[in-house]
Amino acid sequence: MWLVTCAIVGGLTLPLLIQDGMFMDALLYTSVANNLSTGYGTFWFPQFSLHNVSDFNAFHEQPPLGIFIQSLFFRAFGHSMYVERFYTFLMLIITARLMVSLWKRVYLSESILHQYSWLPVLLWMLSPICFWSYSNNMLENTMGVFTLSAVILLFDAMRSQKTSKFILGGLFIFLATMIKGVPGLFPLATPCIIWIMERNSGFVKMIWQSFLSFITVALLYCCMLLIPDARESYDVYFLQRTLFRIDSLPTVNSRFYILGRLFLELLPQFILLIIVLLIARNKKRIPGAQYFKQGLIFILIGISASLPLMLTMVQKAFYFVPALPLFAIGLASMMAPVIAIENRKENLRPSTLKVWRGVGVLLFIGMLGYTGAMFGHVKRDKDLIHDVRLIGDAIPNEHVIGTPNAMWNNWSMQTYMMRYNNMSMDEGYKQTYVVVDQKYQTQIPEFYTKIDIPTKRYHLFKRKESGI
């Protein structure tokens, strides 16, 4: 089944990754990382453009670690759009590998269930927001690697009672928060949730163990904030940007939006779980309660990552992408024993296994063929990308280009211009060149003349040499 799973995971992501065009937030982070790789900006003060976002002195929309990690890939592999595609797909592969590692830790003494490590990976990728996120270069993909690593370390720590693993888990939580801020703290709930479900040690001991991870995060932040640049950077990011946005820029009308969206994203997995359990009940092959308890542990950890998002009115579905591997492992824990029992009872024949292998091979070949067929296509913003590339070819040595006031909030234009042309956008008619969206009825000053290039939507103007 691994071949089938890989074909499905690849089929849901690679054909989109191979195409041009990307979600605006992802393109924004990618542009900043690419700039950092060229020396434009520093770790604590990365740069997006001349004016950045909200006229800050640097790009402070997110903490800098995720952007820095991506910048290393641009330094190593160049600046092609396929570098960020490779990076985000690598995050997918690492996350899947970590899920398998955690699954085998959970069922360390049950070798039969090891064979079903493909199941949580398959369930994970069935969430539409999951394969959407990995088809774009979202920072949640990178943060998920660190939060899942932290959960693995804390899970091991609760089993082995090794102090070092609680501290190491705290380190990975700290790194996760350096990518997306406060949402990266959720693995801190892992020891408490495991204790509630298993009660394998005293309450006081559990509190002390949880405190070890928490104090590790706190001490690392104290040390980091002793650095003047780090303190200034976080002052802007957290106090001026994050708290202001939470208070003043809501994205939803209800705090319960995230719950409804989470339910919809997990609906395919829940339907599969119900079908599997109904079949098991009909055949009187219900597995032991310990599997449901084990699954509930990871579902609760996933909830600990999702419910806190209700505290603000700034909610987007991709915010809970780092929680999806944990929901998948939890639901797979409730399904896999049933599937294992069925397979043992049916005693799958070699011919049946050959059929599954054949299906897997056909799906995998089909996935590769379809991915190849999508090479060179554009999945979104086709006209914009076409025009941005033409503008870059027409004025390759410009670094700042103007735009009318009415177009200033066209962030897709700004991000594509920076990512593909290394050009900042400036508001108004102060620059030699100005780009104008033809859908706006904008009066162009007389001292600009239109450049004749075959754009589809955006027109390029140049200031006359005798202009004012």
Considering the domain architecture, whether residues 277 and 324 belong to the same structural domain is answered as yes
Considering the domain architecture, whether residues 198 and 79 belong to the same structural domain is answered as yes
Considering the domain architecture, whether residues 187 and 248 belong to the same structural domain is answered as yes
- Please tell me the distance from the alpha carbon of residue 325 to that of residue 152, in angstroms, as a whole number: 12
Considering the domain architecture, whether residues 420 and 340 belong to the same structural domain is answered as no
The three state secondary structure string of 342-402 is: HHHHHCCCHHHHHHHHHHHHHHHHHHHHHHHHCCCCECCCHHHHHHHHHHHHHCCCCCEEE
Burial level of 100, CB count in 10 A (0-12/13-18/19+)? Answer: middle
- Domain termination residue (choose one: 349, 370, 391): 370
- Please tell me the distance from the alpha carbon of residue 141 to that of residue 192, in angstroms, as a whole number: 25
Predicted confidence (pLDDT) at residue 381 exceeds the cutoff of 90: yes
Structural domain count of the chain: 2
Considering the domain architecture, whether residues 389 and 357 belong to the same structural domain is answered as no
Considering the domain architecture, whether residues 435 and 307 belong to the same structural domain is answered as no
Considering the domain architecture, whether residues 302 and 215 belong to the same structural domain is answered as yes
- Domain termination residue (choose one: 370, 398, 420): 370
In this structure, is residue 219 part of a structural domain? yes
Range in 8-12, 200-204, 233-237, 322-326 the model is least confident about: 200-204
pLDDT in tens, 438-463: 888 778 888 999 999 999 999 999 99
Considering the domain architecture, whether residues 333 and 403 belong to the same structural domain is answered as no
Considering the domain architecture, whether residues 433 and 362 belong to the same structural domain is answered as no
Average pLDDT on 179-183 reads 93
In this structure, is residue 431 part of a structural domain? yes
Closest CA to 162 of 91, 232, 100, 212: 212
Considering the domain architecture, whether residues 363 and 405 belong to the same structural domain is answered as no
Which pLDDT value is given to residue 282?
A: 79
Which pLDDT value is given to residue 467?
A: 45
Closest CA to 248 of 294, 312, 291, 196: 312
Considering the domain architecture, whether residues 309 and 451 belong to the same structural domain is answered as no
The three state secondary structure string of 128-146 is: HHHHHHHHCCCHHHHHHHH
**In terms of residue numbers, what domain contains 90?**
2-370
In this structure, is residue 255 part of a structural domain? yes
- Domain termination residue (choose one: 312, 347, 370): 370
- Torsion angles phi and psi, residue 289, rounded to 5: -65, -20
In this structure, is residue 403 part of a structural domain? yes
In this structure, is residue 377 part of a structural domain? no
In this structure, is residue 468 part of a structural domain? no
Predicted confidence (pLDDT) at residue 10 exceeds the cutoff of 90: yes
pLDDT in tens, 37-95: 999 999 999 999 988 987 788 999 999 999 999 999 999 999 999 999 999 999 999 99
